[in-house]
Structure 1
Amino acid sequence: MKRSRAVSLGILGAAAFGLAACQTEEQTDAAAFSDEQSCVAAAAQSGWFTREDCAATFAEAKAVHEETAPRYESQALCEEEHGAGACGGDPAAASGGGGGSIFMPLLAGYLIGQALGGGRAMAQPVVPKAGGGFATPTGGTQLSRLNSTGKMGTTAFAKGPTTAGQPPMSRAAVASRGGFGGSAATRSVGS
């Protein structure tokens, strides 16, 4: 069974929308921040994450972004999916010495979530979407804004597939997926 997950963090909290078969997904406290400093500023008011969690999750989100962000064969194609000025070159491709350029969306911020069962805080990078808003690298979790808190399904923190070192998406590949977040937004139940 497949399902699509879209989450919008709002002023009064977070509301999760999507198809979830007949199961209810576990919810966790979550917050979206544009940078580590925003997280640190909010940590004093939070009862579930600390300044140390902010530093650790921001570092984790940066690493996950480098590994899982969507990659495109041209900057124009990347900007069609993520917005003007929202893309840059893939640093891993540039250092690899291969021919051609690969482009990926810039890290716009990150999600921090409370791990269930008292574990460490969870992290997930977010990238800009064309037309406004933000999404996780697969496009499966969408946010209307950053610097907000609420409840979110735990699948929002599932790591996407590795794209680093893979061939970049062509215009035809993006179209066949239905654009950024198209078919990549579906996850198996229990993933």
Structure 2
Amino acid sequence: MKIEKTFLEGCFVIEPPVFSDHRGYFYESFNSKVFKEQTGLNINFVQDNEAFSNRGVLRGLHFQQGEFAQAKLVRVIKGKVLDVAVDIRPSSKTFGKYFSIILSDENKKQLFVPRGFAHGYAVLEDNTIFSYKCDNYYNPKAEGGIIYNDPGLGIDWMLSENEINLSKKDKKLTTFSIDFS
């Protein structure tokens, strides 16, 4: 398993070895021991989530606050997304910066998003299945979000404005000027 640091502290790109033959493929999507050896982080995932979406769906930017903050390991089972992690840790050197990556069923890449980050993704292909593990349980009272088109972040979601399909809740998210303490 190849694990590379991003420029955001604690955020990693994971590329598992894929074993393919005429029957199909096999890969280990997560190994706690290897992850800890390569990152120094001891993560205990407690919840797995899966979402199905078509091209243009944009989910995010979401986060959990305080004791309910979540680290996530995200991947695409089928299709393709642009995945985005935004550092919202006020004491971080990269506070307000974001990292983006294409995750797809073809490249099998995954992104580890630590606690203290907002996360979102834009679906770039129809019939996409997105999967993620969380190290803490979801709590609706602790959720927060940043509007996807926040001008201070300037994220290129790789979709035209008229293609973007948001939930009612995501349309009401605020800009990054929120107090995250």
User: Is TM > 0.5 for Structure 1 vs Structure 2?
Assistant: no
Task: Report 1 or 2 for greater relative contact order, CA contacts < 8 Å, sequence distance ≥ 6.
Answer: 1
**TM-score, structure 2 normalization:** 0.32
**TM-score, structure 1 normalization:** 0.31
Higher strand share goes to which structure?
2
Higher helix share goes to which structure?
1
